[in-house]
Amino acid sequence: MGHAETKLQDVPNTRAISMDEYWMPFTPNRDFKHEPKMVVRAEGMYLWNERGERLIDASSGLFCVNAGHCRKEIADAVGAQLRELDLIAPFTRGHPKQFELATRVAAMTPGDLNRIFFTNSGSEAVDTAMKVALAYWQAKGQGGRTMFISRERAYHGVNFGGISLAGIANNRRRFGPTLPGVAHMRHTHVKENFFQPGEGAHGVELAEDLVRFINLYGAENIAACFVEPIAGSTGCLVPPAGYLKRLREICDAHSILLVFDEVITGFGRTGQNFAAQSFGVTPDLMTMAKGITNGAQPMGAVAISERIHNAIFNSAPEGGIEFFHGYTYSGHPAACAAGLATLDIYQREGLFERGRALSPYFLDGLFSLRDVPVVADVRGYGLFGAVDVQTEGTPGKRGHAFQKKLFDNGLHLKATGDSAIVAPPLIAERAHVDSIIEILRRTLKSI
């Protein structure tokens, strides 16, 4: 490859920056470097490119900035924290904000998911949850329970635990055999539910795949079943009505732990604190990230039921480490400060209620796109939805071109394959929804 560079035009003294050294994640790097899409500033619902042109952010960055971009309260809290205490050794040393944030998060979770383990990302939260599940069964004297059940089209991050659970083929197929002992249920994107807002009427029987695996492998060998309540990164697959409840019943009947990966669906995306509450199903473990700090600091967490936590603690020798796991930046002071400031904003501004109130208008707008001929399906729940475009040639080719064209037309969103995923910040107003739908419509008609 030859050398590539781009000119940043809005900074005083226009400067060239080399495009060669930075290897971008989940990006067609060669394509990007020919045609860079740079963002240099953000505020509220908007981003600005280096030419000073404004874009509306229709996917909250990457499903993170639920309170909108560049919130001063969060920036101030992080700055103040870094001046007061920048870092502590997180093993055997604590600082008050870790405990305060854990208490605040626990108050938002359903049931007895009241023990909080901090990580730095959703991927780490997923791997941590897998280890908690395994440690729990060891503590219970059922160490044979090592298998995990996941689902086709699942996204659980990119660490080896997460890609072993993954059901998006491209995210696993280049990386060897991954972890043994993972079986995948079928995904829930069934034709009968196409163009249905909310939970589809069809497909509850897909939960019975879990029973088939129990019959095949034996419940005594299965540690946990991992699902995203709404499969997010694959393109917002809302579960069929009753599906999550049925998974809960099957897990209960066979003492299998149920884990909800709420990295996207947490913190108001579905109109409640977590999708668990929206769907009325309480898991045993829950992973989260992104919205916990409004994306302003890297942070993830696992909420763990007291029952699981107590079993692990009680099995450890008195005075000894209960769980041999953790990260240098677990509960980083700046991330905790960002988390506390973020939760204050969510509460003070009633953002989850606000998102819930806007949802019908948002979904009406999104589903109005069904009449554009290139649209293959529309799905949505809360302030979360997806528009699939008809595949043309290689799967994902048209989706990628669509996403690039949207950016040129003033709209940022995340696309996976041929699905465009729409998840505006919860501060959005009707006028923002109108702009998002107008740009989507205009762009859909042009691809």
Ligand X SMILES: Cc1ncc(COP(=O)(O)O)c(C=O)c1O
> By the criterion CB under 6 A, which residues form the site for ligand X?
121-123, 126, 155-157, 228, 232-233, 261, 263-264, 289, 300
What does DSSP assign to residue 187? P
Torsion of CA 401, 403, 404, 405, to 10 degrees: 80
Q: How far is the CB of 156 from ligand X (least distance, A)?
A: 5
Q: How far is the CB of 298 from ligand X (least distance, A)?
A: 7
Q: How far is the CB of 289 from ligand X (least distance, A)?
A: 5
Q: How far is the CB of 155 from ligand X (least distance, A)?
A: 5
Please check whether residue 255 is in contact with residue 219, taking contact to mean a CB–CB distance below 8 angstroms.
yes
Cα distance between residue 389 and residue 14, in whole Å: 38
Q: How far is the CB of 177 from ligand X (least distance, A)?
A: 21
> Nearest 5°: CA angle at 166, between 382 and 362?
15
> Nearest 5°: CA angle at 350, between 349 and 354?
110
Nearer to ligand X, 155 or 346 (CB): 155
Torsion of CA 160, 166, 171, 177, to 10 degrees: 60
Cα distance between residue 50 and residue 39, in whole Å: 6
Residue 50: both structure tokens together: 């280096």
- 222-227 and 147-151: which strand pairing? parallel
Cα distance between residue 116 and residue 118, in whole Å: 6
Nearer to ligand X, 126 or 338 (CB): 126
Q: How far is the CB of 158 from ligand X (least distance, A)?
A: 6
- Neighbouring C-beta atoms of residue 5, cutoff 10 Å: 12
Q: How far is the CB of 125 from ligand X (least distance, A)?
A: 7
Which residue's Cβ lies closest to ligand X? 122
Q: Which residues contact 214 (CB under 8 A, 6 or more apart)?
A: 222, 250, 254, 256
Nearer to ligand X, 121 or 146 (CB): 121
Q: How far is the CB of 231 from ligand X (least distance, A)?
A: 8
Cα distance between residue 377 and residue 193, in whole Å: 9
Q: How far is the CB of 61 from ligand X (least distance, A)?
A: 11
Nearer to ligand X, 267 or 367 (CB): 267
Nearer to ligand X, 122 or 239 (CB): 122
Nearer to ligand X, 48 or 160 (CB): 160
Nearer to ligand X, 49 or 330 (CB): 330
Nearer to ligand X, 49 or 119 (CB): 119
Three-state DSSP class for residue 56:
strand
Place of tokens 């691809």: 447
Phi then psi for residue 188, to 5 deg, are -110, 20
Cα distance between residue 186 and residue 213, in whole Å: 12
Q: Edge to edge, what strands does the sheet with 39-43 contain?
A: 39-43, 46-49, 54-57, 411-412
Nearer to ligand X, 50 or 262 (CB): 262
Closest CA to 221 of 147, 281, 313, 271: 147
Nearer to ligand X, 268 or 365 (CB): 268
Q: How far is the CB of 64 from ligand X (least distance, A)?
A: 9
